[in-house]
Structure 1
Amino acid sequence: MGQGTQMRAHLCGIRTAWTEAGRASEAVAEIADSFAGADPVQIVAFFSPDYDPDELNRTFRERFPSAAVTGCTMSGGFSPAGGLDRGLVAIAFPRRGFRIVSTLLDAIDHLDVERTAGAVRALRRTLEVGSTGDTTDHRFALSLIDGLANAEETVVSAIGWALDGIPLVGGSAGDDLTFRDTVLLHDGSIHRNAAVVILVETEFPVQIFKSDNFEPTGTKFVVTASDDEKRIVHELNAEPAAREYAMAVGLDPETLSPMSFAAYPLAVKIGGEYFCRSIRRMNADGSLSFFCAIDEGVVLTLAQPRDIVAATRAELSRLDEALGGIDLVIGFECILRRLDAESRQVRHGIADLYRLYNVVGFETYGEQYRSMHLNQTFTGIAIGRSAPEPAARLP
């Protein structure tokens, strides 16, 4: 194991490891050394956008010839040891106790919904072949989506439709808020403008979740001019979008930054519940680009943050009780949540929780939960510690 690499073995058999090695080949080599003796069926990896993806892909093939490898670029990672501003985070699923299948969805900016749903249904049928007993509560789906394709809503809706009740969580690939190039890794190849769906069946108890830390205020905005395809809002309340937003939060439009957007999120009400619609950046013409789809006529509500540490602790504690003890959490957290935690100087409190509950994952340009694409949210899958009866073990 490399000097800067850390690894953790979990009761369910999954191993997690993370490193901040400078080169892609060094990072994969260190991860491989930390997984020595394991024979994983699937590796899921999150990696810095400054790594050479071809070098990363080649080294993964060399070091893990018998494992399926899927991954994406991140805007930072996190682990039980704390946050990683750069590096590689890897999750190795064992062959015993887990059955895993995956598929790639390409050209997602012009997604064929029927074709996509058909591919996911076929994947689900593959998972069901050889399945033993009632495994409904022991299945979940992970999605990794190109965060610059502006297609998450369509992709997640099509996947959710075809999963027929299998719960889905996931994240959009990021690139450290540069918005230049997000990359997916799957089946020995590099992909852009794509998504990957991984279906997992396990003998261990699992539960998906989402957690946010904002609440609505009385301040409302109506989107009065927008470019829906590009997720750009030109006007709010018939005024230039950035200026109207800045006035509402008491800031100079010229000073708006990702920190501002993290501190003063916007939300939309769907089915009686509020969901965040985060601003990506202010454009030179005074318009605002969003991480989520925004249609003309939508009413946005200014939200105010609650205690992010308390909200996260409450959700992880609930999961811990529901599962009879958390063994591992695979998480997808919005990059704006990290920025907000840093600005409020509470990132160490989040790190303490991730250490306590064995949370590992990456910081995203958007989060998926069931059939929805979200922002400024922490989603994921919690895996319980419960040891199954020997007769129920998966092959």
Structure 2
Amino acid sequence: MRRYVVFTQRDQGSAASRQLTGVGASDLTDSRGAGRAAASAAVGRLGGPPPTLVVVYSSVRHSLTDLLAGVRDVTGTTPLVGATSSGQFHDGTLTPPGEGVVVLVLGPGPYRFGVASAKGLRADAFTAGREIARAARDAAGPERLAHAAILLLADGLAGHHQTLLSGVHRVAGASVPVAGGAAGDDRRLAETFVFHDGEVLADAAAAVWIDSPHRLDVVVAHGWRPVSLPMLVTRVDGTVVHEIGGRPALDVFREHFPGRAVEQSLRYAPVDGWPRSHALGLIEPDGTQLIRGAYLDDEGRLNTFAPLPPYSAVQIVAGEPDDLLSVADGIAKDAVAGREPGVLLVFSCVARLDILRDRGAEEPGRLHAAAAGVPTFGFFTYGEFARTTSVAGYHNATVAAIAL
């Protein structure tokens, strides 16, 4: 049964030129206490004005209902959205998977927000996306500002993320960019959740419609580099890629990495994280690649985390730590260029964290440094939403950012 909850946000003072924000974090083991501590720190940094929107990212190790109750002990009935993560970060500081909670509160600023949530992604993700976009837009109020964007969070293991995004696109249209991420669970690959007010929702998505007096841009980059010529996917069944260029897909991978243990790199190993180093790049009309993580299932078949269209053009791509880190500066600089935003929201894939390993803290550190004093706030996802002018926009092993 599908459920929709809509909350209308009070006006945030559209004349304000910069969004006021506050960020707090806690590593307390008591869940309610951790939520209360992180929220208190965030609200304290607002300097007095009441919050108008709350965003929470947390490890699944917490009792999530108690955690949200602790946050709302401080923020009251202020609308809240969020997700479980596989690590989170703020202001250049990494909280690794399995630890902590971070809270962002938004105070007065130029934006109007509308929040909605929906369950039932596995049954009908397109309808969920369509209805959640419509409900969030309506919740922002009857009068539209000149521009808009959508923050989208979804159950990371429910699948159908591109279909969910297509449903959002059907309502929002090409002029409204979407940014966000799929929830994680500290790499356990068992169950992920999104948050709406005090509720913890599985098989669900939460969305924030952001009305804005100025254009909001989503910046996306990944750093993966192609190691093959373009090829066609000639046989695919859901997420299973049987043939590329009329040949067994795994054979095509092997020939591009002679002498390397390709099967080991592609092995889907939950204990050791997501697959590393090799992926497929779905070629976009502008020549860039939309990354699709690749892995071997228990039967030794090549899979991707989201289905590839039959006869789509792809390239095999590879990523090493320096490649992935090279895009951080440009992402942050492009997102804040020419503006004085109150926060940079970032969504990065946990696959990147696995490739970076002991250099994992470098990515949030570089993002924050390049943001030049703008607070940064984000989490490591099971997939990223970054759609600008096309229906496609669900990514793997990529970084997406939007500045408010």
Q: CA deviation at 1:207?
A: 2.8
- Give the deviation of 1:76 after TM superposition: 0.9
Residues 267 and 112 from structure 1, CA distance in 2 versus in 1: closer, same or farther, beyond 3 angstroms?
A: closer
Counterpart residue number, 2:9: none
| Distance 1:207-1:30 versus aligned 2 partners, 3 A rule | same
Q: Which residue of 1 aligns with 2:160?
A: 151
In structure 2, what is the Cα distance between the partners aligned to 1:255 and 1:92? 43
After TM superposition, where is structure 1 displaced by more than 6 Å over at least 4 residues in a row? none
Q: CA deviation at 1:124?
A: 2.1
2:338 corresponds to 1:329: no
With structure 2 as the length reference, what TM-score do the two structures score?
Answer: 0.80
Superposed, 1:226-375 pairs within 5 Å as: 226-228=236-238, 231-234=239-242, 236=244, 241-242=249-250, 244-250=252-258, 251-256=260-265, 257=267, 261-279=275-293, 281-305=295-319, 307-323=323-339, 325-342=340-357, 345=359, 347-348=361-362, 350-357=364-371, 358-370=375-387, 371=391, 372-375=393-396
1:215 to 216, 225, 233: 225
TM-score (norm 1): 0.81
Distance 1:16 1:167 in 2: 24
> Quick one: distance in 2 between partners of 1:238 and 1:363?
36
Q: 1:43 Cα shift?
A: 0.7
Q: Secondary structure at the match of 1:60?
A: helix
Matches within 5 A, 1:58-77: 58-77=69-88
Segments of structure 1 that go 5 or more residues without pairing to the other structure are 1-9, 384-395
The one of 87, 93, 96 equivalent to 2:106 is 93
SS in 1 for 2:276: helix
Tell me by how many angstroms 1:79 deviates: 1.3
User: Match of 2:354, SS?
Assistant: helix
Letter in 1 for 2:353: R
Tell me the amino acid that sits aligned with residue 381 of structure 2.
Answer: T
Q: In 2, Cα distance between the equivalents of 1:74 and 1:171?
A: 10
Following TM superposition, by how much is the alpha carbon of 1:62 offset from its aligned partner in structure 2, in angstroms?
3.4
User: Alignment partner of 2:397: what SS?
Assistant: coil
* 1:171–1:118 Cα change, 3 Å: closer
Structure 2 contact 116–206 (Cα < 8 Å) conserved: yes
Give yes or no for contact 1:74–1:175 (8 Å, CA) kept in 2: yes
- Structure 1 residue 209, shift from structure 2 partner: 1.3
- Mark the CA change 1:160 to 1:364 in structure 2 (over 3 Å): closer, same or farther: same
Taking structure 1 as reference, are residues 51 and 103 closer, same or farther at Cα in structure 2, changes over 3 Å only?
Answer: same
- Over residues 21-68 of structure 1, what are the superposed CA-to-partner deviations in whole Å (9 max), with x where a residue is unaligned? 333223202113212455212111111122222222333343332211
Partners of 1:356 and 1:119 lie apart in 2 by 33
* 1:98–1:201 CA contact under 8 A, matched in 2: yes
Q: Is the Cα–Cα contact under 8 Å of residues 146 and 173 in structure 1 kept in the other structure? A: yes
Supply the RMSD in Å over aligned alpha carbons: 3.0
1:56 aligns with 2:56: no
Q: Relative to 1, partners in 2 of residues 1:106 and 1:115: Cα closer, same or farther, differing over 3 Å?
A: closer
SS at match of 2:337: helix
Q: What secondary structure is seen at the aligned counterpart in 2 of 1:66?
A: coil
Tell me by how many angstroms 1:223 deviates: 4.3
What's the offset of the Cα at 1:171? 0.5
SS where residue 156 of structure 1 aligns? helix
CA contact (8 A) 1:240 1:287 kept: no
| 2:198 maps to 1:188 | yes
Q: What letter is aligned with 1:288?
A: L
- The correspondence for 1:161, drawn from 145, 166, 170, is 170
1:222 to 1:287, Cα distance in 2 relative to 1, 3 A: farther
Amino acid at match of 1:313: D
Residues of 1 paired with 2:101 and 2:19: CA distance? 22
Deviates more, 1:16-25 or 1:39-48: 16-25
Q: How many residues align?
A: 366
Percent of residue pairs identical: 19
Which position in structure 1 is the counterpart of 2:399?
378
Q: Please give the alpha-carbon distance, in whole angstroms, between the structure 1 residues aligned to 2:294 and 2:90.
A: 25
Match of 1:18 in 2: 25
